[in-house]
C-alpha cells in the first residue's frame, strides 16, 4: 500500500527521470477503458469529471471509450486547471459526434441517470474532509444512477490515506487504482484492481526531486524561533575545528532555526570566529571527555536532534565520552546522526530506531567488522540486513549512496567525483540532522539529505570542475532546496548499476 505523499513524490520523480505525468495520465485512462471493456461491453457510458489528475484520467478514459464505439457523456463539475487535464479536455472538446459534453454550473441541474457504465472521476487523492458542492450532490446522484459503477483510483468522498468519509461517498462496483493500492482503501471491501501505468521502478528506488518537494516543509507564516528545528552538533577537538563548523553551517543552510556547536573551550572560540551565525557551547578541557557529560545533558535534552562525531578525534577520553553520550541518546531515543569519529568510537554497538549512521566504506568496515560489498546489488542487501540487525538507519556513502532502515531502501546517484574532498561528509551530517529535526523519518532524512548534499556538490562541480571545497557545497544547498527539479537536471551519472 502507498500513501498520497509517497505517490506524489514518485510521480514527480517519474517526470524528472523522463516519463512525463501526461503519459502516466494517458496510461491510467486507457487502463480504465480496458477494464470496463473487458467486463461490460457497454453501448453507452457517463463520466463524472472533477478536478485534478483524477478528472484528467476520466477525460482520457472517455476519449478511449469513444474510440471503442461507446456513446459517451462527460459531465464536468467545474474548471480543471491541472496542466495535463487541460490538454485532455482540449482533446475531447471538439469530439461532438462521439462525446456529449455537459458543464454543470448549478448542482440542482444534476439528476439520476442511466447508462451501461458510470465512471467516477470526481475527487481524487488530494481530497480531505467533507465533499462540498457540486460534489456532494454529484456523489449522491452518481450513487442513485443506474449502471455498472467504476471509480478511478479510489471512490470519491473517501480520504486516500485514512479511509475516512465525512459525508457521501461513491459506492462502486469496481475501483481501478494505479501503481499501488491507496492506504484508505484498506477499510473497505471494494472490488479493487491495480494497474501499472508506466512509472519506472527507479522513481521509487532512487531519491529524486519529488522526495524533496513533498517532504521538506515550507515555513509557516506564523512560525516562531525553534519551530524549524534545534540542532546540537557535538564535535571538534584540539586538532580539528573545521568539521563541526561545516556541519553546523550546513544545518543552518538547510533551514534549522537554531544550531549549537559543543566543543572544547579553545576549539569553540575558533569555531565562533568562523561565523557569527553559530552558537558555541564551550566545554572544559582540550578534548571532549566524560567530564563534559553533565555539561552536555541539558543541551542534548533541549535539542530536537543531536549530531555527534565531526572532528571529535579519537583520544582515549573522547572515545569514552562518545560511548557515554550515545548510550544517553539511546536511553532517550533521541533523534541523532552519528558520524565520523563517534561512529568509530562506538564500533559494533547496537543502536535504536531514531539513530542514523553515515559511514563511508572504511568506516563501515570499522563499525561492522566486515568489508562493504563491491557489487552494488549485494551492497544494497548488506545494508538492509545490517540496518535491521543494528536497529538503525544506515547511509553508506559511495559513488552510489545506499540508504536503509532495515525495511525499505533508497539509492542516490546525484554526486560527482569532486565530492571526495574532505568536509563534504560533514556538510552531509548537517543536512541530514536538520531534516531529522524537522520531523522527517530517519529513512527520509538520510536519503533526502544525501540527495540535497550531493546535488549541491554537483551544482558546484558544474561551475568549478574538480576544484570544489565544502564551502562551495554549502552555498549551493539553498539552490537545491529552492528548485530541486531544475537542480536535478545537472546530475552527472546516467547509469551506474549493470546486471
pLDDT in tens, 350-391: 999 999 999 999 999 999 999 999 999 999 999 999 999 999
Residue 498 has pLDDT above 80, yes or no: no
Residue 425 is labelled as binding a ligand: yes
Mean pLDDT value across the chain: 95
Residue 220 has pLDDT above 90, yes or no: no
Residue 161 is labelled as binding a ligand: no
Residue 159 is labelled as binding a ligand: no
Give domain limits for the chain.
Answer: 4-205, 209-216+223-488
| 27, 199 Cβ separation under 8 angstroms | no
Q: How confident is the model at residue 104 (pLDDT cuts 50, 70, 90)?
A: very high
| 212, 477 Cβ separation under 8 angstroms | no
Residue 84 is labelled as binding a ligand: no
Residue 153 is labelled as binding a ligand: yes
Residue 124 is labelled as binding a ligand: yes
Q: How confident is the model at residue 222 (pLDDT cuts 50, 70, 90)?
A: confident
The answer to whether domain 4-205 and domain 209-216+223-488 are alike in fold is no
pLDDT at 226: 80
pLDDT at 218: 84
CATH 3.50.30.60 for domain 209-216+223-488, yes or no, is no
Ranking 55-69, 111-125, 219-233, 306-320 by mean pLDDT, the lowest is 219-233
pLDDT in tens, 246-286: 999 999 999 999 999 999 999 999 999 998 999 999 999 99
Residue 217 has pLDDT above 90, yes or no: no
Residue 499 has pLDDT above 60, yes or no: no
Q: How far apart are CA 182 and CA 165, in angstroms?
A: 14
Q: What is the mean pLDDT of residues 460-465?
A: 94
Burial class (CB in 10 A: 0-12, 13-18, 19+), 338: buried
Residue 311 is labelled as binding a ligand: yes
| 72, 44 Cβ separation under 8 angstroms | yes
Residue 126 is labelled as binding a ligand: yes
CATH 3.40.50.10260 for domain 4-205, yes or no, is yes
Residue 109 has pLDDT above 80, yes or no: yes
Nearest to 147 by CA among 123, 112, 191: 112
pLDDT above 90 covers what percent of the chain?
A: 92
Residue 367 is labelled as binding a ligand: no
Q: How confident is the model at residue 497 (pLDDT cuts 50, 70, 90)?
A: confident
Residue 129 is labelled as binding a ligand: yes
pLDDT in tens, 43-99: 999 999 998 999 999 999 999 999 999 999 999 999 999 999 999 999 999 999 999
Residue 128 is labelled as binding a ligand: yes
Residue 462 is labelled as binding a ligand: no
pLDDT in tens, 13-51: 999 999 999 999 999 999 999 999 999 999 999 999 998
Residue 82 is labelled as binding a ligand: no
| 317, 289 Cβ separation under 8 angstroms | yes
Residue 156 is labelled as binding a ligand: yes
pLDDT in tens, 411-439: 999 999 999 899 999 999 999 999 999 99
Amino acid at each position: 500500500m502507498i500513501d498520497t505523499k509517497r505517490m506524489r513524490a514518485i510521480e514527480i520523480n517519474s517526470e524528472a527521470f523522463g516519463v512525463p505525468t501526461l503519459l502516466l495520465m494517458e496510461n491510467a485512462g486507457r487502463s480504465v477503458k480496458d477494464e470496463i471493456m473487458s467486463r461490460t461491453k457497454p453501448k453507452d457510458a457517463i463520466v463524472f469529471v472533477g478536478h485534478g489528475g483524477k478528472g484528467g484520467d476520466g477525460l482520457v478514459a472517455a476519449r478511449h471509450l469513444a474510440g471503442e464505439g461507446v456513446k459517451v457523456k462527460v459531465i464536468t463539475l467545474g474548471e480543471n486547471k491541472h496542466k495535463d487535464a487541460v490538454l485532455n479536455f482540449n482533446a475531447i472538446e471538439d469530439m461532438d459526434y462521439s462525446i456529449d459534453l455537459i458543464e454543470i454550473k448549478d448542482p440542482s441541474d444534476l439528476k439520476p441517470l442511466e447508462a451501461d457504465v458510470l465512471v467516477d472521476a470526481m475527487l481524487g487523492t488530494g481530497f480531505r474532509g467533507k465533499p462540498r458542492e457540486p460534489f456532494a450532490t454529484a456523489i449522491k446522484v452518481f450513487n442513485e444512477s443506474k449502471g455498472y459503477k467504476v471509480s478511478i483510483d479510489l471512490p470519491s468522498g473517501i480520504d486516500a490515506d485514512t479511509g475516512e468519509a465525512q459525508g457521501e461517498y461513491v459506492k462502486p462496483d469496481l475501483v481501478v487504482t494505479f501503481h499501488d493500492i491507496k492506504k484508505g482503501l484498506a477499510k473497505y471491501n471494494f472490488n479493487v484492481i491495480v494497474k501499472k501505468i508506466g512509472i519506472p521502478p527507479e522513481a521509487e528506488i532512487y531519491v529524486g526531486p519529488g522526495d524533496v518537494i513533498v517532504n521538506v516543509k515550507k515555513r509557516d507564516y506564523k512560525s516562531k524561533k525553534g519551530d524549524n528545528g534545534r540542532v546540537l552538533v557535538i564535535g571538534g577537538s584540539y586538532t580539528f575545528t573545521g568539521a563541526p563548523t561545516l556541519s553546523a553551517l550546513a544545518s543552518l543552510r538547510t533551514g534549522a532555526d537554531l544550531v549549537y556547536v559543543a566543543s572544547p573551550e579553545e576549539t569553540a572560540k575558533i569555531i565562533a570566529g568562523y561565523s557569527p551565525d553559530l552558537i558555541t557551547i564551550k566545554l572544559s578541557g582540550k578534548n571532549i571527555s566524560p567530564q563534559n557529560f553533565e555539561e552536555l545533558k541539558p543541551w542534548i535534552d533541549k535539542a530536537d536532534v543531536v549530531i555527534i562525531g565531526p572532528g571529535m578525534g579519537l583520544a582515549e577520553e573522547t572515545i569514552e565520552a562518545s560511548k557515554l553520550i550515545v548510550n544517553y541518546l539511546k536511553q532517550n531515543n533521541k533523534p541523532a546522526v552519528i558520524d565520523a569519529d563517534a561512529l568509530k568510537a562506538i564500533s559494533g554497538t547496537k543502536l535504536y530506531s531514531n539513530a542514523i549512521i553515515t559511514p563511508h566504506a572504511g568506516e563501515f568496515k570499522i563499525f561492522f567488522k566486515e568489508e562493504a560489498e563491491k557489487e552494488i546489488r549485494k551492497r544494497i542487501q548488506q545494508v538492509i540486513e545490517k540496518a535491521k540487525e543494528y536497529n538503525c538507519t544506515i547511509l553508506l556513502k559511495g559513488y552510489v549512496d545506499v540508504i536503509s532502515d532495515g525495511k525499505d531502501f533508497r539509492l542516490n546517484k546525484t554526486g560527482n567525483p569532486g565530492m571526495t574532498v574532505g568536509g563534504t561528509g560533514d556538510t552531509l551530517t548537517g543536512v541530514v540532522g536538520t531534516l531529522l529535526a524537522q520531523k522527517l523519518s530517519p529513512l527520509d532524512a538520510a536519503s533526502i539529505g544525501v540527495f540535497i548534499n550531493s546535488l549541491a556538490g554537483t551544482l558546484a562541480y558544474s561551475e568549478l570542475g574538480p576544484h570544489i571545497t565544502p564551502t562551495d557545497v554549502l552555498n549551493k544547498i539553498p539552490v537545491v532546496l529552492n528548485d530541486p527539479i531544475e537542480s536535478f537536471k545537472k546530475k552527472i551519472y546516467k547509469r551506474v548499476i549493470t546486471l
